[in-house]
Structure 1
């Protein structure tokens, strides 16, 4: 039992697994387990929240494996802060969506991620993991996983290919002035 607390991957996978089981059992016993349409369009297929039983533990295990390769078995404070920041972002977007501000969410979600990606590598595994897990409470597991990987790809391109352009211009301007 103490092994699970010394290894962050095992701890996170266990916590996410317990979370999704408890959440789905709660949904099943109250309102029933919903299904969500892609792009919130009834013409598109609906995907049941039951898929979260497979998607979330598997995604957690895979993403924490990537984190382990970079940081080791016990994560530093930086990783926990990244998880918290992305979780807070996902929570705010989910609450805004369910409060009826769907247009605001669609206007802010991608531009905000791309803006933040100019300064931070938000494509990394901790950000993606927290986004998927927290968003799954509002949208099931499939849609946030799909959207999260798309957001991560856009953030990767922004951080590695667009971000260097203003940095290069800034260095060029500062070297000419000296």
Structure 2
């Protein structure tokens, strides 16, 4: 155990060690999914916007994308945790965010694969969620990509998730700037 300056205790396993472990686990999970696909008819490719006239993206790209996304997520999480006095609370919040995004991605995948009319609501509902939650955090994107990856591979959900993350970051940043200006004008800052 390591004592933090804030009086908290951090487990002896460093976040960097966890970053390597989680990246290897993510790589293994993606390799397992691709092995299953390969043995059951071949690794699939998915057309952009589900339009056969547009280029197809192979699920093989997941072997590169998923580990990179996991590494980035763990690096981002490490920075947030190290700047906080609440080490355990930040870790649990990140885990909860990952699980919620995973479930959302799985639900969206199931709706899409069954041709449900609800897929449009779930798809655009993510933009409404982006107004409230900080979806630019890596754990949301990683969970979403893992959840959707079973049906349409990891690349297309990563592209869509990146757009949602950018939208969320833009809205939250604009709101923060506007709020600071309002507070400064009223003398509250």
TM-score of the two chains, using structure 1 as the length reference = 0.81
Contact preservation (8 Å) 1:60, 1:129? yes
Contact 1:118 1:163 in 2 (8 A): no
* Structure-1 residue corresponding to 2:120: 106
Query: Number of residue pairs matched?
Result: 166
Does residue 92 (structure 1) correspond to residue 107 (structure 2)? The answer is yes
2 CA distance for matches of 1:136 and 1:42? 19
Counterparts of 1:127-146 in structure 2, within 5 Å, are 127-146=140-159
How many Å separate the matches in 2 of 1:97 and 1:89? Answer: 12
Q: Specify which structure has the bigger relative contact order, considering alpha-carbon pairs within 8 angstroms and separated by 6 or more residues.
A: 1
TM-score by length of 2: 0.76
Aligned to 1:82: 97
Q: Measure, in 1, the Cα distance between the counterparts of 2:130 and 2:15.
A: 32
1:43 aligns with 2:57: no
- 2:135 matched to which residue of 1? 122
- Which residue does 1:15 correspond to in 2? 25
| Aligned-partner Cα distance in 2 for 1:89–1:153 | 18
Runs of 5+ consecutive residues of structure 2 not aligned to the other structure: 1-11, 184-189
Q: In the alignment, which of 8, 16, 35 is matched to residue 25 of structure 1?
A: 35
Deviation digits for residues 7-64 of structure 1, max 9, x if unmatched? Answer: 4322321221111111111110112111000000000001111111111111111222
Structure ranking higher in helix proportion = 1
* Unmatched segments (≥5 aa) in structure 1: 172-178
Distance of 1:108 and 1:88 partners within structure 2: 12
